[in-house]
């Protein structure tokens, strides 16, 4: 009872954080993290119910489309409102002389989560900006080959196709058979395309279309043995899977923070290995474009400082939960609903139920029905918000819970799917 009372009190306080303070100042009487999960299933469910209070989750609409953008916790939204009002009082003073100085502490705190040197991490607006910085900034010439997949995100595919048209580089696409639980086969799909002209391999760590987790480290190691550089799209894996960016073995990495870190919309980060920074041209102009300072990738001009500075409050909540506990919970929620529908007639699952190959994102289809039809019917009859996926060989509905999602909501999803069948 004492533990449950503590969790209830802590979660409530998260929604009323003292603004413009760091976490230690706001909550001097709380430990840096919650107690570790116990063996009591009901106690664990109680913990996650209290975490739900940190969000303004709708009691009438079931949001199971957290894969694209996740809601920010109440504390981050309160901070965003506060910073917006503060900046509006005297924009040039509060933006450039006050909040602009807070970027370095934020960089350090994000680097601690990412497990990297702060001088390798740039703050951007989303994964597209971060990855496009690398795609357009690398010194590639006509005839150079880039290995990638048609399951990569469209903004990245379009960026590479633009370089193909503009510079004459050659795009080599791998043939992926998904879902897959064979790391060796997934790795060989990439390595089989390597030639003496291959300069870079582009790997999506967690594929947004299906939730497939790719063996990024194995692919990176094989590429480096051939002198090939590695760009990892971590938009859907950062702050979801428990890893540190350098552990992926990449040279370049980009992600969004408004997905699984639950930061306010319009936040992302770019990681570039220290000895690679000088070799990447900034996407926007800088006075030292060939310098080795990671901040050359941040010359955006006037930006939304309130959006950027509110990230710290989302980071606080993530650190309270812990990366390992969060991944375990979200994998559990994915399997919770998939386990109950996998044997229904006509059901096809596009996502693995093994933790090494899938987490949070799960996709199902029904034989003979279009994904858009299924998604629309779930919303019309059950007020369950999902997204239809019709891409390459996938014709299904993507279901993505988050830390505030309850099992009661997933029980309603299961009833809805059974009704569809």
| Closest to 396 in 3D by CA, of 376, 417, 375 | 375
At residue 38, the pLDDT reads 56
155 and 251 assigned to the same domain: yes
Domain final residue pick, 283, 313, 343: 313
Domain final residue pick, 313, 334, 369: 313
Tell me what the mean pLDDT of segment 344-359 comes to: 98
301 and 353 assigned to the same domain: no
The answer to the question of residue 319 being in a domain is no
The answer to the question of residue 206 being in a domain is yes
264 and 411 assigned to the same domain: no
Does the pLDDT at position 292 exceed 50?
yes
205 and 113 assigned to the same domain: yes
137 and 218 assigned to the same domain: yes
Q: Do 68 and 387 form a contact (C-beta atoms < 8 A)?
A: yes
332: CATH:
3.90.1150.10
Per residue, the 3-state secondary structure of 337-389, as one string, reads HHHHHCCCCCEEECCCCCCCCECCCEEEEECCCCHHHHHHHHHHHHCEECEEE
Does the pLDDT at position 213 exceed 90?
yes
The pLDDT mean for the chain works out to: 91
Does the pLDDT at position 39 exceed 80?
no
At residue 6, the pLDDT reads 43
CA distances to 135, 330, 364 from 209, rounded to whole Å, are 21, 17, 11
The answer to the question of residue 174 being in a domain is yes
The CB density around residue 144, as the number of other CB atoms within 10 Å, is 17
Domain final residue pick, 252, 287, 313: 313
288 and 141 assigned to the same domain: yes
334 and 261 assigned to the same domain: no
The answer to the question of residue 140 being in a domain is yes
229 and 268 assigned to the same domain: yes
| Closest to 420 in 3D by CA, of 374, 364, 380 | 374
The answer to the question of residue 37 being in a domain is no
What's the token pair of residue 81? 């409102």
Tell me what the mean pLDDT of segment 310-330 comes to: 96
Tell me what the mean pLDDT of segment 104-117 comes to: 97
pLDDT, tens only, 155-205 = 999 999 999 999 999 999 999 999 999 999 999 999 999 999 999 999 999
Does the model's pTM come out above 0.95? no
The answer to the question of residue 16 being in a domain is no
Does the pLDDT at position 24 exceed 90?
no
172 and 251 assigned to the same domain: yes
Range in 22-36, 47-61, 199-213, 317-331 the model is least confident about: 22-36
The answer to the question of residue 40 being in a domain is no
337 and 292 assigned to the same domain: no
181 and 309 assigned to the same domain: yes
353 and 301 assigned to the same domain: no
> What is the domain count for the chain?
2
Domain span including residue 385: 325-420
The answer to the question of residue 120 being in a domain is yes
């Amino acid at each position: 009872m004492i533990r449950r009372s503590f969790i209830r009190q802590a979660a409530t306080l998260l929604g009323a954080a003292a603004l413009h303070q760091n976490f230690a100042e706001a909550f001097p009487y709380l430990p840096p993290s919650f107690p570790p999960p116990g063996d009591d299933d009901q106690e664990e469910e109680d913990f996650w119910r209290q975490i739900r209070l940190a969000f303004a989750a709708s009691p009438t609409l079931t949001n199971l489309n957290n894969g694209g953008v996740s809601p920010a916790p109440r504390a981050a939204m309160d901070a965003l409102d506060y910073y917006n009002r503060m900046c509006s009082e005297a924009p040039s003073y509060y933006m450039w002389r006050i909040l602009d100085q807070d970027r370095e502490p934020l960089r350090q705190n994000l680097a601690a989560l990412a497990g990297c040197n702060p001088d390798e991490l740039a703050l951007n607006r989303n994964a597209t900006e971060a990855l496009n910085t690398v795609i357009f900034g690398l010194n590639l010439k006509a005839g150079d080959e880039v290995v990638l997949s048609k399951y990569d995100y469209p903004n990245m595919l379009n960026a590479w196709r633009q370089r193909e048209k503009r510079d004459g580089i050659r795009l080599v696409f791998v043939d992926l058979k998904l879902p897959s639980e064979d790391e060796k086969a997934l790795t060989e799909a990439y390595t089989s395309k390597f030639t003496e002209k291959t300069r870079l391999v582009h790997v999506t760590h967690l594929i947004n279309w299906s939730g497939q987790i790719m063996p990024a480290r194995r692919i990176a190691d094989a590429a480096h043995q051939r002198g090939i550089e590695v760009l990892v799209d971590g938009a859907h894996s950062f702050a979801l899977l428990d890893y540190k960016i350098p552990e992926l073995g990449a040279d370049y990495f980009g992600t969004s923070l408004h997905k699984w870190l639950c930061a306010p919309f319009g936040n992302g980060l770019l990681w570039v290995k220290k000895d690679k920074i000088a070799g990447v041209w900034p996407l926007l102009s800088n006075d030292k474009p060939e310098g080795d300072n990671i901040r050359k990738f941040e010359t955006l001009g006037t930006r939304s400082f309130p959006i950027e500075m509110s990230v710290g409050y989302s980071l606080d909540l993530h650190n309270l939960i812990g990366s390992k506990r969060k991944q375990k919970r979200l994998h559990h929620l994915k399997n919770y609903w998939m386990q109950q529908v996998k044997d229904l007639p006509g059901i096809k699952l596009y996502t693995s139920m093994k933790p090494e190959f899938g987490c949070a994102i799960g996709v199902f289809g029904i034989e003979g029905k279009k994904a858009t039809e299924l998604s629309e019917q779930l919303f019309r009859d059950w007020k369950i918000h999902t997204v239809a996926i019709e891409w390459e060989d996938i014709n299904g509905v993507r279901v993505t819970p988050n830390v505030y999602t309850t099992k009661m909501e997933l029980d309603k999803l299961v009833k809805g799917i059974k009704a569809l069948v």
